[in-house]
Structure 1
Amino acid sequence: MSINKKLMRDTLLYATGPVFNKIIAFFLIPFYSYILIEHELGYYDLILTSSQLIVAVGTLKISDSLYRWLMDNNIDDDLRTSAISNSFAVIMASILLMLVINYAIPAGSGPMHKNLICLLIITVLLLGHLFQLLRGLKLIKEYAYVSIFNGILLLCSNIILLGIFHLRLQGVMLSLVISNSICILYISYRIHLLSFLKINMVNSVVLKSMIKYSAPLVYNAISWWLMGGFDRYVIAGFLGLDANGIYAIAAKFSAVIILINSFFLPAWQDMLLKESNLFSVKMQFSKMLNLYITLLLSLVILLSSLSKIFIEHAIDPRYYEAWKYIPVLLAGNALLALTSFIGTLYVLERNTYHIFITSVLGSVVNILISVLLINSVQLYGPGLGMLSGFLAIFLVRYFYYKKRISIQIQLRPLLLLFTIFIFVMWCLYFANRSFYYVSIFIAITTFLLVNRKLGLELFRTISNTLLRSKTGNT
């Protein structure tokens, strides 16, 4: 299977920073498990989950609109400046509104001060917007470097505030605020942000046009939050914050799948938006979909097999039962990645309405199953709800585009991988220790074999990139 080399190079660039950043965040999980008790970790997870919804609704998803406008109008300086100025007008209005609301809300008696939570949300908002700006300006290397920088800052801040000053939950939150704030200042200086911000370029026509594109994405974001965030409130409400802390550990481990999606999807999306030949897009899409399904399913098998041994040796014993829920969450996140992959076609067509409709369907399925099952199967309920919701979205989107661009999924390798997945799950949950280690070996072998072509192409791309760097050909 021939893989688009430009896509591979862009994927590597997108991967460099975010992967490093996410790896840092991943290895902070064991650190947090020994520092924070279940209640604190559950509370922290609720704050992060809530911030995602607040940022999406509060900014009207204007960052997505900015990226789309810059990809269309990057050559025209006036259009570019106008899009950036208008988007920041929305961002500044959102920040002002958050500050007013924060001031109006009485201080609670929880472990985190409300002002720190507000500051965290603002820094997440600004950094996310600036990352989209870097993507829209095609500054992929800067995007990668800042992500690496952010990860290093987060690690250092956590070591100092938690390891030395023993600030616990407050230290975790402050670490995120500090790392985000420094990166915001760096990006603003590096790209001369003030030169793009002109008050006279803010006008209602451009602003309405951008919001018209982004507003349906707010409903989509709410639906996605209901898919991946509302379950935290269901767990906290039915089972308590301690259970949410255990679920958070499982969710953070399974988020490795999202890591793969976070660097592959932007590169794929960029390629689609730059591609003027619709026939070429249709030809590549089916090949890339099958490649992605194989990669994700083999990764689910591999990570599921390693979940128990990771939790046993890396996480505090009070979170041990988290391993049980990881395979379900991994499968759900794999389906999330596939729905996002097909969703890039909606972005290409600016069909945000269908994005919203399919996301609403998935969120309804997720909520119903989560609430109905949580009392009977405990934390498996939200996991199965998420899995079912993303499966519903994937099937609807798949059959919608199957008629339009002739998507063909290769069933034979899919059935083989699914059979191996069932065997690994049996070994993980029911077999003795010897069979469990055999399943790990099979999972690793399977992952290497089915992704060998992708691995070779990746190796060639890295080698060629390094050779060009040595010879000065950039």
Structure 2
Amino acid sequence: MRQYRKLGKNMAFITLGNFASKLLSFFMMPLYTAVLTTTEYGIADLMTTTINLLAPFFTLIISEAVMRFALDDNKDSKQVFAIGMTITICGFGIMLVFSPILLLSKNLARYYWFFILYYLMTTIHTLVSQFVKGIEKVDVYSISGVVQTIALIGLNVFFLLGLKIGIIGYLLSLILSNVIAIVFLFIRGKLWKYCISLLKIDRKLLKEMLQYSIPMIPNSLSWWVSNSSDKYMLTLFLGVAVTGVYSVSQRIPSMFAIISTIFIGAWQISAVDDFGSEKSRLFYSNIYKIYSSLNILMVSGFICLSKVLARFLFLNDFFDGWRFVPVLLFAFLFQAMAGYLGTIYTSSKKTKMLFISTVSAAITNIALNALLIPIFNAQGAAIATLLSYLLIWLIRLIDTKKILKLDISFGSDILSYILISIQIWLMISDVLWMQRMAWGLLAVLVWVNRTMVSKMLGMFTKSIRMINRQKRGDR
């Protein structure tokens, strides 16, 4: 029960912080779609996508190693933090040397210095937040998400509605909100206590951390291809305006991804406890079943609400993007489950095993984009994303048995996936009576997954009560 209480407590903290912040960001979409053109939003999204591509190469994904090694009691947290910061800053210097290549892109050249600052602040924020989570200051990590979001909203209102400077204001908001979050984490996390001279870095620990993180670069690149290559190919085949609409359509699936992010954020802390034991195997199996059922119901509910949400969130020319949402939601379901299975690799420190699954999916994604976009336009990109995530999940489901054999409810999961596929077809048909039938399937899915959902709610309720008791005790 200690493992479940720890997981539930961390989930409660991260939910209270991250869910509120992500929800606020989600409801900023009407402002973005009203103020920015499809082309401007497409350019801004391409900048974020490009940063997500470059960061793993120049940071060596050291932030993941920082979190994992900070969780180890027998590792010096000061050394872990110093190594992470050194590699991040050195990587930024190397990136600057190669950054003039960006000037070859007309879309990125106009905002070159915004791109540079955005990259720097994003990578430092990622490192600092992962370290804070690694030293198990989960409350500070969670609150920082709210602080960043409030700052982002305030800056967006000031720059977009007050000064009315369009995409420049949007980019400034992203940069400055990261700066504010970094400052908050340093102060509340008391990170100055972990700062040491870079000349005193433990080379043996440096080697261990790099052996952990470097094999994850191909994995990260492959995830990027699966997540983002469709945007570049849409730009190539259909233009940046279509890319802007497609990018906006991913915002509703991102709401579902909030739940996944919250869970994995808490799970990464609990996943390493007693890893490899029979107790750990049962723990992983139970959490997989609960997590799977929760994701299935979340996706099903969002599919039913996709058009309604789009009417509120996607203004003007962006509204047509709702048609891509149901397929993308299904894709994000498999991404979430593949991410869970990925923690088996990271907990066992066998990160090389992540490579095959993600590379296979990345190659599949590129091939399917090239094949399906000319035929189905942007919907082809959504289908390619779905099939590539499905492939990652299947490969990891089979391969992780070599490390930890999970007990999985295949029957109910497969039935649920079939019902969701039917839901997608009913929604995309855009016929009212068929869309109403999709709600009926949601009710069926609730019944199919009722046992696991009941367990999840029980865990979460107990965790909230425990936090409240602790707060009363502190008083």
SS at match of 1:72: coil
Cα distance between partner residues in 1 of 2:235 and 2:102: 22
Whether 1:389 and 2:391 are equivalent positions in the alignment is: no
Aligned AA for 2:398? F
Structure 1 pair 314–272 and aligned structure 2 pair: CA distance change class (3 A): closer
Output aligned runs, 1:62-141, within 5 Å. 62-73=62-73, 79-102=76-99, 110=107, 112-141=110-139
Output aligned runs, 1:409-448, within 5 Å. 409-430=408-429, 432-437=431-436, 439-440=438-439, 443=442, 446-447=445-446
Output aligned runs, 1:118-197, within 5 Å. 118-195=116-193, 196-197=195-196
Cα distance between partner residues in 1 of 2:2 and 2:302: 27
Cα distance between partner residues in 2 of 1:367 and 1:103: 27
Deviation at 1:15, TM superposition (A): 2.0
SS at match of 2:60: coil
Report the TM-score when normalising by structure 2.
0.92
Output aligned runs, 1:390-405, within 5 Å. 390-402=389-401, 405=404
TM-align CA RMSD: 2.5
Contact 1:102–1:115 (Cα < 8 Å) also in 2? no
Contact 1:86–1:202 (Cα < 8 Å) also in 2? yes
Cα distance between partner residues in 2 of 1:211 and 1:293: 32
Contact 1:282–1:405 (Cα < 8 Å) also in 2? yes
SS at match of 1:255: helix
Deviation at 1:454, TM superposition (A): 2.1
Cα distance between partner residues in 1 of 2:425 and 2:96: 51
Deviations 1:237-291 (A, max 9, x none): 1111011011111111111232112110122121121335621111112221121
Residue in 2 aligned with 1:242? 241
SS at match of 1:274: coil
Cα distance between partner residues in 2 of 1:465 and 1:343: 29
Contact 1:66–1:136 (Cα < 8 Å) also in 2? yes
Residue in 1 aligned with 2:296? 297
Larger deviation: 393-402 or 231-240?
393-402
Cα distance between partner residues in 1 of 2:186 and 2:132: 10
Deviation at 1:458, TM superposition (A): 2.0
Residue in 2 aligned with 1:472? 474
Cα distance between partner residues in 1 of 2:2 and 2:473: 27
Report the TM-score when normalising by structure 1.
0.92
Deviation at 1:54, TM superposition (A): 1.4
Structure 1 pair 182–444 and aligned structure 2 pair: CA distance change class (3 A): farther
Deviation at 1:465, TM superposition (A): 2.1
Aligned AA for 2:340? F
Cα distance between partner residues in 2 of 1:345 and 1:109: 42
Structure 1 pair 6–193 and aligned structure 2 pair: CA distance change class (3 A): closer
Contact 1:297–1:417 (Cα < 8 Å) also in 2? yes
Deviation at 1:418, TM superposition (A): 3.6
Whether 1:20 and 2:20 are equivalent positions in the alignment is: yes
Contact 2:365–2:388 (Cα < 8 Å) also in 1? yes
Structure 1 pair 34–447 and aligned structure 2 pair: CA distance change class (3 A): farther
Output aligned runs, 1:335-350, within 5 Å. 335-350=334-349
SS at match of 2:214: helix
Deviations 1:204-257 (A, max 9, x none): 433233212211111111111111011111111111101101111111111123
Contact 1:402–1:408 (Cα < 8 Å) also in 2? no
Cα distance between partner residues in 2 of 1:277 and 1:286: 12
Structure 1 pair 432–403 and aligned structure 2 pair: CA distance change class (3 A): same
Deviation at 1:431, TM superposition (A): 6.1
Structure 1 pair 438–2 and aligned structure 2 pair: CA distance change class (3 A): farther
Residue in 2 aligned with 1:209? 208
Larger deviation: 371-380 or 79-88?
79-88
SS at match of 2:250: helix
Whether 1:268 and 2:270 are equivalent positions in the alignment is: no
Deviation at 1:119, TM superposition (A): 0.3
Contact 2:61–2:213 (Cα < 8 Å) also in 1? yes
Aligned AA for 1:135? K
SS at match of 2:272: helix
Identity %, equivalent residues: 22
Cα distance between partner residues in 2 of 1:3 and 1:95: 38
SS at match of 2:169: helix
Aligned AA for 2:262? F
Contact 1:213–1:352 (Cα < 8 Å) also in 2? yes
Structure 1 pair 237–86 and aligned structure 2 pair: CA distance change class (3 A): same
Q: 2:457 aligns with which of 435, 455, 458?
A: 455
Output aligned runs, 1:12-51, within 5 Å. 12-51=12-51
Structure 2: give runs of 5+ residues left out of the alignment: none
SS at match of 2:54: helix
Cα distance between partner residues in 2 of 1:411 and 1:362: 22
Cα distance between partner residues in 2 of 1:468 and 1:192: 22
Aligned AA for 1:121? Y
Deviations 1:20-76 (A, max 9, x none): 222122111221111111111111111111111111111011111111221114x65
